């Protein structure tokens, strides 16, 4: 009798190919997360067509209330506080691999698969999260909040494949997904920018754009319209470009500086998650990513009270509070945590 396995399905090419591959040798049960998004009915219909085509069972799990409370509210609070959140990093351990995995296991299914481009290996120490072999598509950054307990129940069939191979397989399985420019937008924003949502959810108080020495050089419609490193949309002129270097929500200020002001050697991290459940012996030298598209850079990690201090061998550009620092040892994700501050580059 074929082993049962759950697949988190969205109707997109990745989860579709994931389900089709597993259906060759397993009894696949599809699960769709109802997150209460604007196009939810359209998504459910699309996933239903995929499930019907693959002749697999599909179940819709209602997670709209918890998603709104734990992810959308976090998103709005963060921007309102002048930091730039990463809802995908928070959603994965709490919602997709938290509440959804719990629902799957409650149905008597021990393993769940998704279309993430990552790999999991297992040895006597437990489960290890590793980068996808296609480093252009690797999504391990977004899974830094997972635990070994969660990883032991997870399967990632696309981890050794490239995106081109996935599209080829989709065609072989009879699906007409076609290569396209993939959206990097937050799922609940759809065609909105963060400001469109935040105008309805937070205090959009106007304020000043000021230089690092406090000189007013412009005005803004709300700090949540800005993020560290931003150049466009400032409406501030000078002989050389200004960039956003900091946000002060309490003072309603957007602080700007020059390109050189964006570079820093150090940062602090809070709420660190170590995937193994145990921190490595510190200080430790690891590679650190400060955003999804960032090239991991060598750094030394050490304790700073309840925080973790990360000191890079070379200065890094636009370190952004609210984003996540993710720690790698070779191709393995060791852990990660939220960036809470940036420190000036060493002189």
**Which is the catalytic residue, given 91, 144, 204, 237?**
91
CA distance 157 to 19: 9
**Which is the catalytic residue, given 76, 187, 204, 237?**
187
CA distance 268 to 250: 21
Asked if 187 is an active-site residue, the reply is yes
User: Which has the closest alpha carbon to 208: 245, 247, 261?
Assistant: 247
- In Å, the largest CA–CA distance within the chain is 72
The answer to whether 255 touches 210, Cβ cutoff 8 Å, is: yes
Asked if 91 is an active-site residue, the reply is yes
Query: What is the CB-side half-sphere exposure of residue 206 using CA atoms within 13 A?
Result: 4
Catalytic residues, by residue number, are 91, 187
């Amino acid at each position: 009798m074929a082993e049962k396995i759950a697949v988190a399905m969205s109707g997109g090419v990745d989860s579709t190919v994931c389900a089709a591959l597993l259906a060759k040798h397993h009894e696949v049960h599809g699960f769709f997360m109802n997150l209460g998004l604007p196009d939810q009915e359209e998504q459910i219909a699309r996933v239903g067509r995929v499930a019907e085509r693959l002749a697999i069972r599909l179940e819709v799990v209602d997670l709209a209330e918890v998603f709104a409370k734990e992810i959308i509210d976090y998103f709005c609070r963060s921007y309102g506080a002048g930091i730039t959140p990463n809802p995908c990093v928070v959603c994965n351990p709490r919602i997709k691999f938290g509440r959804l995995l719990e629902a799957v296991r409650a149905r008597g299914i021990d393993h769940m698969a998704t279309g993430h481009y990552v790999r999991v290996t297992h040895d006597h120490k437990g489960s290890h999260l590793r980068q996808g072999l296609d480093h252009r598509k690797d999504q391990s950054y977004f899974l830094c909040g997972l635990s070994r307990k969660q990883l032991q129940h997870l399967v990632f069939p696309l981890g050794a494949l490239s995106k081109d191979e996935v599209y080829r397989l989709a065609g072989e399985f009879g699906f007409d997904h076609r290569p396209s420019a993939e959206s990097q937008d937050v799922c609940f924003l759809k065609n909105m920018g963060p400001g469109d949502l935040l105008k309805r959810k937070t205090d959009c108080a106007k304020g000043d754009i000021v230089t690092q020495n406090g000189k007013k050089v412009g005005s803004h419609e709300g700090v949540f319209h800005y993020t560290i490193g931003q150049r466009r949309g400032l409406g501030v002129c000078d002989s050389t470009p200004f960039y956003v270097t900091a946000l002060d929500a309490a003072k309603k200020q957007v602080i700007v500086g020059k390109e050189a002001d964006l570079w820093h050697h150090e940062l602090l991290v809070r709420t660190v998650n170590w995937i193994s459940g145990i921190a490595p012996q510190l200080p430790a030298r690891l590679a650190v990513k400060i955003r999804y598209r960032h090239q991991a850079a060598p750094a030394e990690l050490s304790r700073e009270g309840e925080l973790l201090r990360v000191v890079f061998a070379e200065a890094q550009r636009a370190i952004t509070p609210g984003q996540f620092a993710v720690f790698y040892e070779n191709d393995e994700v060791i852990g990660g945590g939220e960036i809470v501050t940036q420190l000036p580059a060493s002189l």
